[in-house]
């Protein structure tokens, strides 16, 4: 094993082009951790915010000093594991999420044992890399909104990384699913199981009807979508209006005090229990990963640019082995 590895890095906050392929030391495995040779990783909104420098002091802590690394999730092969400890063994193919840290777009990551799980049988690394972000949809629908069979669910951002999971899980949990996406992606939303699909650019929220649950992955216009909730309805948002984050936060907090229909926000930090639940849904045929495009480790700037440009169908993946 060489002492250093390839990694996507940046030396200052800025546009996607600040990212370059550099080298950093291969991490030590460390106690209670597993060393993984990374094969693929997906681009997440958090990566874009981190690189732009818009995550605030908490983000700066998670990102560490310059040069900063990118990538939150990974698929790879275990190369070193602790003997006699429950968890994947050397040679196992695994997927997981770094615990509030960046750096998975590299050849190796060292990960706590409870932050990864085995890849479901028959799934290649690129497709498995589209799974980690879907844990957010499980938390939103199963734990926060508690979607019940027969309920009407609206998924905003239905063909994005989280949304493709939201639509499929909505059906798996027995919901009647309405998807909001751009015109070009409405067919995909229907293929994933949406009962109805509308173009968000030409459809007014008021024309959508009422819902028991709204899963919002966009973060803007929260009042207009909250008004669609039927009595007893629940709305979960996972994003902020980044142009006015304090206003979004104020509205969410205010909704817990004013009015019967509370808007919930959470920041996921998923662990093995959730990964196993997700694997079970894949193995039962309820969930399939959706991959848009694949970039190499030297093209991470292009991968960030692609996600920023919008219109993405599912996930943009970086194949770290190329």
Site residues, ligand NAP (CB under 6 A): 44-46, 133, 136, 156-157, 159-163, 180-182, 185, 200, 217-218, 220, 238-239, 266-268, 307, 310-312
- Smallest separation, CB 110 to ligand NAP (Å): 23
- Smallest separation, CB 89 to ligand NAP (Å): 30
- Smallest separation, CB 262 to ligand NAP (Å): 16
Longest pairwise C-alpha distance within the chain: 61
CB count within 10 Å of CB 283 equals 13
Cβ proximity to ligand NAP: between 139 and 320 the closer is 139
- Smallest separation, CB 158 to ligand NAP (Å): 7
- Smallest separation, CB 122 to ligand NAP (Å): 24
Cβ proximity to ligand NAP: between 44 and 87 the closer is 44
Q: Which residues contact 295 (CB under 8 A, 6 or more apart)?
A: 302, 303, 306, 316, 317, 318, 319
Using DSSP, state whether 100 is helix, strand or coil.
coil
- Smallest separation, CB 308 to ligand NAP (Å): 9
Cα radius of gyration (the chain): 19
d(CA 161, CA 48): 14
Using DSSP, state whether 297 is helix, strand or coil.
helix
- Smallest separation, CB 162 to ligand NAP (Å): 4
Cβ proximity to ligand NAP: between 7 and 312 the closer is 312
- Smallest separation, CB 270 to ligand NAP (Å): 8
In angstroms, what CA-CA distances link 38 with 34, 57, 136? 12, 28, 22
Q: How many residues does the chain have?
A: 322
Cβ proximity to ligand NAP: between 120 and 268 the closer is 268
Cβ proximity to ligand NAP: between 274 and 281 the closer is 274
- Smallest separation, CB 107 to ligand NAP (Å): 24
Using DSSP, state whether 278 is helix, strand or coil.
helix
DSSP letter at 19 equals -
Cβ proximity to ligand NAP: between 87 and 170 the closer is 170
Cβ proximity to ligand NAP: between 117 and 208 the closer is 208
d(CA 102, CA 160): 21
Cβ proximity to ligand NAP: between 13 and 321 the closer is 13
Report the residue closest to ligand NAP, judged by CB.
Answer: 160
Q: Which residues contact 12 (CB under 8 A, 6 or more apart)?
A: 18, 66
In angstroms, what CA-CA distances link 79 with 72, 108, 122, 237, 263? 19, 9, 20, 38, 43
Q: Which residues contact 309 (CB under 8 A, 6 or more apart)?
A: none
Cβ proximity to ligand NAP: between 49 and 321 the closer is 49
End-to-end CA distance of the chain: 18
């Amino acid at each position: 094993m060489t002492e250093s590895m390839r990694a996507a890095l940046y030396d200052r906050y800025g546009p996607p082009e600040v990212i370059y392929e550099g080298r950093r030391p291969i991490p030590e495995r460390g106690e209670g951790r597993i060393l993984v040779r990374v094969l693929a990783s997906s681009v997440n909104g958090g990566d874009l915010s981190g690189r732009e420098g818009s995550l605030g002091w908490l983000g700066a802590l998670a990102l560490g000093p310059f040069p900063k690394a990118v990538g939150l999730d990974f698929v790879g092969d275990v190369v070193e594991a602790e003997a006699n400890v429950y968890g994947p063994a050397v040679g196992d193919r695994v997927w997981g999420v770094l615990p509030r840290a960046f750096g998975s777009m590299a050849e190796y990551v060292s990960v706590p044992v409870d932050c990864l799980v085995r890849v479901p049988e028959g799934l290649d690394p690129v497709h498995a890399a589209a799974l980690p972000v879907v844990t957010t949809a499980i938390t939103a629908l199963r734990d926060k909104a508690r979607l019940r069979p027969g309920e009407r669910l609206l998924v905003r951002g239905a063909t994005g990384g989280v949304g493709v999971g939201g639509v499929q899980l909505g059906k798996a949990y027995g919901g009647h699913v309405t998807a909001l996406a751009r015109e070009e992606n409405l067919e995909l939303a229907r293929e994933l199981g949406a009962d109805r699909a509308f173009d968000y650019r030409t459809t007014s929220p008021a024309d959508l009807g009422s819902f028991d649950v709204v899963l919002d992955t966009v973060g803007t216009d929260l009042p207009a979508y909250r008004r669609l909730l039927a009595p007893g309805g629940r709305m979960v948002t996972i994003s902020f209006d980044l142009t006015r984050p304090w206003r979004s936060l104020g509205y969410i907090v205010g909704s817990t005090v004013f009015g019967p229909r509370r808007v919930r926000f959470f920041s996921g930090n998923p662990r093995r229990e959730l990964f196993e639940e997700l694997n079970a849904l894949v193995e039962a045929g309820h969930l399939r990963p959706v991959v848009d495009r694949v970039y190499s480790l030297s093209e991470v700037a292009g991968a960030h640019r692609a996600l920023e440009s919008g219109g993405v169908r599912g996930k943009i993946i970086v194949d770290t082995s190329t």
